[in-house]
Amino acid sequence: MNKLLNRNLSKIENETLASFIFRISKGNDCSFPSTICSFLDLSTYDLQKNEFTSNSLSVLSELTDQSLSNLRMMTNSFFIDAFGEVLFEELIIKNNVQYCPLCVSVEFHHQRNWAFIPISVCLKHNVFLIDRCCNCHAKISLNSYWYESCKKCDFKYKDAVAVPIDSKSFELISQKKLYEIIIEMKAPFFKELSSLEHLKLILNSRKLITGLTSFTGEGRLENYFWDKTTLSHLYANCIWLYFNFPRNFNMAFNRVNTQLNYLVINKLKRFEYYLESISESQIQTHYANTTIKLQRNSDDFMNIDTISYEDAIHLLNFRHYQFKSLERAKIINPKFTKGNVKRYTLIEIKRLHKILEGELDVGDFNKVTFKKAISKYRQLGFSFEKAVLWITQKKLKPYRDAESLDLDGLLLDEDKLIELLDAQ
């Protein structure tokens, strides 16, 4: 094993760790990925997804003489830690691959920049990334990508013809900003907001403007995940909103206010709710002080106090199964409106969100993360629903620190938890 990894193979700029391992394997024994996976105690699926456990990275670090932090930077686990799992899931391309034909023409590999849905251009070559076989238009699966050719028609991926992007287009400018926010983790628009908050701002903006008329081009903005061109246009619009702040932002909101209908109002409510969460920021102050804020008084027929399932799950930053299990446990209670449409009371959802945010002041106690507590004490009857129930009943208090990005990272007092479990 050691001899295998010490071959003189250097990593390519921005290459993923999965790609690096696959390249090493190609020059060696073909069974290598599965051999090394069992050696690292990692499933081949996780290797393909570029997700590595800390243990597997330590082993690799020793084998390759690369520092742990260098290896970590090459993995998707690095981004999961930076963004939180929920946000990461929203951004990552699952099971399929996009790539730059010019980057792979020298040596076939995969880059971490290509793994994100909003990224659609290679900034080194100023060409569009390719996400379909250029011969038969089949999607490029992870599996066929590692074998370098299309499974359906045998087309060699490195033979794809590159399509250049207009160097003066706004789309290219917007791609540069998206690289800054996602890959370089910078904060290009508002000094007081972190890169993570910028990312959330862009994703919330995407939800707001989907369905509206484009601000930078023709037609309606759509969120078609299978159509790169449309998606790229949608993200360019999200970025456009924050150029020349507040000029474009105001223009867009004036337009939104003339296109009000039931759906748009719901999206605006969601966006306003998001802005409330980043108070103290320039954008929040601007929004609160200008007339672009939605006039709600005349909207009583629109049932403004309740929100849809999709909005509720978004506000809480939950996954579907989490939301549904709380509904089954009657911790969240739907309200049926006319026509038997299921909706949720906004105040109730906001209250739950506030409680689950956790208190920032972390005292001196035996800390266990929310996620770990659930897996550790499952045998004793502890579960996601029970955790939330006890938190809402104020029996258990959640705390957060700088690293708690979402629910999973909340901190609980382990001694208190054991006490509660014993008393059941």
Contact residues for Zn ion, defined by CB under 5 A: 100, 102-103, 122, 124-125, 133, 135-136, 138, 150, 152-153, 155
Gyration radius from the chain CA atoms? 24
Which of 88, 114 has the CB closer to Zn ion? 114
User: What's the min distance (Å) between Cβ of 105 and Zn ion?
Assistant: 9
- Helical residues (DSSP H) of 107-167, grouped into ranges: 142-146
Torsion from C-alpha of 412, 418, 422, 424, nearest 10 degrees: 10
CB of 322 to Zn ion, least distance (A): 39
Burial of 394 (0-12, 13-18, 19+ CB in 10 A): exposed
Q: How far is the CB of 156 from Zn ion (least distance, A)?
A: 10
Phi, psi of 149 (to 5 degrees): -145, 155
Nearer to Zn ion, 139 or 324 (CB): 139
Question: In the structure encoding, which two tokens stand for residue 83, read together?
Answer: 């963004």
Smaller CB separation from Zn ion, 72 or 151: 151
Those residues with Cβ within 8 angstroms of residue 220's Cβ, 6 or more apart along the chain or in another chain: 211, 212, 213, 214
Contact 60, 2 (CB under 8 A): no
Alpha helices by DSSP H, listed for 85-214, are 85-91, 101-106, 142-146, 170-182, 195-209
Q: How far is the CB of 95 from Zn ion (least distance, A)?
A: 17
- Residue 108, phi then psi, degrees to nearest 5: -70, 130
Q: How far is the CB of 134 from Zn ion (least distance, A)?
A: 8
Which residue pairs from 199-203 have beta carbons closer than 8 angstroms and sit at least 24 positions apart in sequence? 199/83, 199/87, 199/91, 200/87, 200/274, 201/242, 201/274, 201/278, 201/283, 202/118, 202/178, 202/235, 202/238, 202/239, 203/87, 203/90, 203/91
134 vs 187, beta carbon nearer Zn ion:
134
Nearer to Zn ion, 113 or 306 (CB): 113
Helix (H) or strand (E) holding 21: helix 17-26
As a whole number of angstroms, the distance between CA 60 and CA 54 comes to 10
Cβ-based nearer residue to Zn ion, 102 or 251: 102
153 or 288, CB closer to Zn ion? 153
Per DSSP, the three-state class of 158 is helix
Alpha helices, DSSP H, located in 41-115: 44-48, 54-64, 68-73, 76-83, 85-91, 101-106
Which CB atom, from 100 or from 256, has the smaller least distance to Zn ion? 100
Q: How far apart are CA 282 and CA 198, in angstroms?
A: 13
Judged by beta carbon, residue 138 or residue 187, the one nearer Zn ion is 138
User: CB-based contacts of 197: which residues, under 8 Å, 6+ apart?
Assistant: 187, 190, 278, 281
Residue 401: CB partners within 8 Å, gap ≥ 6?
360, 362, 411
- Taking the complex as a whole, the smallest distance from the CB of residue 135 to Zn ion amounts, in Å, to 5
CB 132 within 8 A of CB 229: no
Provide the minimum distance between the beta carbon of 402 and Zn ion in the complex, in angstroms, as a whole number.
Answer: 35
Q: Which CB sits closer to Zn ion, 101 or 358?
A: 101
In angstroms, the CA 132 to CA 302 distance is: 42
Of the two residues 121 and 417, which places its CB atom closer to Zn ion in the complex? 121
